[in-house]
Amino acid sequence: MVNYLDHKDLVNEVISRERIQEIHDATLRCFDRVHRAESAAGRLENSVRVLVATKTRDIGEIMATIQAGTRLIGENRPQEVQIKAARLRQLCEENHLPVESHLIGQLQKNKINKVIPFVDAIESVDSVEQAQQIAQRWAAVNDTPCRLFLEVNESHEKSKSGCDPARAFDEACAIAEIPSVQLIGLMTIGTHVEEEQPIRRSFASLRELRDKLLQTGGEEVASCTELSMGMTHDFPLAIAEGATEIRVGSAIFGERLFV
């Protein structure tokens, strides 16, 4: 695999006018597709948040989608958070653009302290143990609770990240009980296939898990309302199945040149 960090200057802030326009147009087109999917599913306009996945993109590209209206971004790799987040935050503040940032990729224990100052929520938590490690470090520097999503491997593919669906209900209940943690939702990367049915089923399954958690009536799980599901190739299906947040990268920036 090509290590794109050696090939691309992620702190670059200056991109061509054509590239700015391209990202601007793609962002508006994506918002429009989301509105159409909301409407087709009989859902309220703006009931779905759009998280823009910024892996491999530089600061100039990310600011272009933010200038076009993006208000939620997500990084996969803690290393990219470290490279870009402080400067991005500064630019957003200077321009009075309130942008929220989530971590959507795997987080090793030794990287937790490095990402905590820069993220508003972590979507890629896959176990109680990990949630405890994050919460402990979070509570040391924050008064507010740490907002987490449990990532569930609804694709059932071994290679994929996330907690085993068979364990997910118990894991979610246990995570919600951790002091200084607020479990705000569930996240999944859907089954990567062409047919619609298996993809929809994996999204429906995440929704059913969320509903089952809420139906317990438990005080601690009452905040677990978000469903982060759907990417560039399948977000209309996710919206039809109840996504409250979709995560798109290539729809905004084009195909990734680096994995």
Pick the stretch among 32-40, 170-178, 217-225, 247-255 that binds ligand PLP (CB under 6 A): 247-255
Pick the stretch among 4-12, 13-21, 83-91, 249-257 that binds ligand PLP (CB under 6 A): 249-257
Position among 10, 53, 107, 172 found at the interface with ligand PLP (CB under 6 A) = 53
CA gap 180, 142 in Å, rounded: 9
Position among 157, 250, 257, 258 found at the interface with ligand PLP (CB under 6 A) = 250
Position among 57, 102, 147, 247 found at the interface with ligand PLP (CB under 6 A) = 247
Which residue is it, tokens 């449990």? 150
Residues sharing a CB contact under 8 Å with residue 178, sequence separation 6 or more, in sequence order: 128, 131, 132, 135
> Closest separation between CB of residue 179 and ligand PLP, Å?
28
CB 190 within 8 A of CB 202: yes
**Binding characters for ligand PLP, 97-136, by CB under 6 A (x = yes):** -------xx-------------------------------
The SS3 assignment for 10 reads coil
For ligand PLP, give the closer residue by CB, 73 or 88: 73
Position among 186, 231, 239, 243 found at the interface with ligand PLP (CB under 6 A) = 231
Pick the stretch among 19-27, 60-68, 109-117, 243-251 that binds ligand PLP (CB under 6 A): 243-251
How many CB atoms lie under 10 A from the CB of residue 109? 11
Q: Contacts with ligand PLP: how many residues (CB under 6 A)?
A: 13
Q: What is the DSSP track for 28-54?
A: HHHHHHHHHHHHHTT--TT-SEEEEE-
Sign of the torsion angle spanned by Cα atoms 104, 178, 205, 100? negative
For ligand PLP, give the closer residue by CB, 173 or 200: 200
Q: How far apart, in Å, are the Cα atoms of 169 and each of 118, 148, 149, 224, 258?
A: 29, 15, 13, 12, 35
Residues between 141 and 200 with contacts to ligand PLP, criterion CB under 6 A:
189
For ligand PLP, give the closer residue by CB, 104 or 172: 104
The per-type count for the chain, helices as H runs and strands as E runs, is 9, 8
CA gap 164, 162 in Å, rounded: 7
> Closest separation between CB of residue 184 and ligand PLP, Å?
17
Pick the stretch among 4-12, 126-134, 210-218, 244-252 that binds ligand PLP (CB under 6 A): 244-252
Which of 213, 243, 214, 215 is closest to 227 using CA atoms? Answer: 243
Pick the stretch among 4-12, 194-202, 217-225, 242-250 that binds ligand PLP (CB under 6 A): 242-250
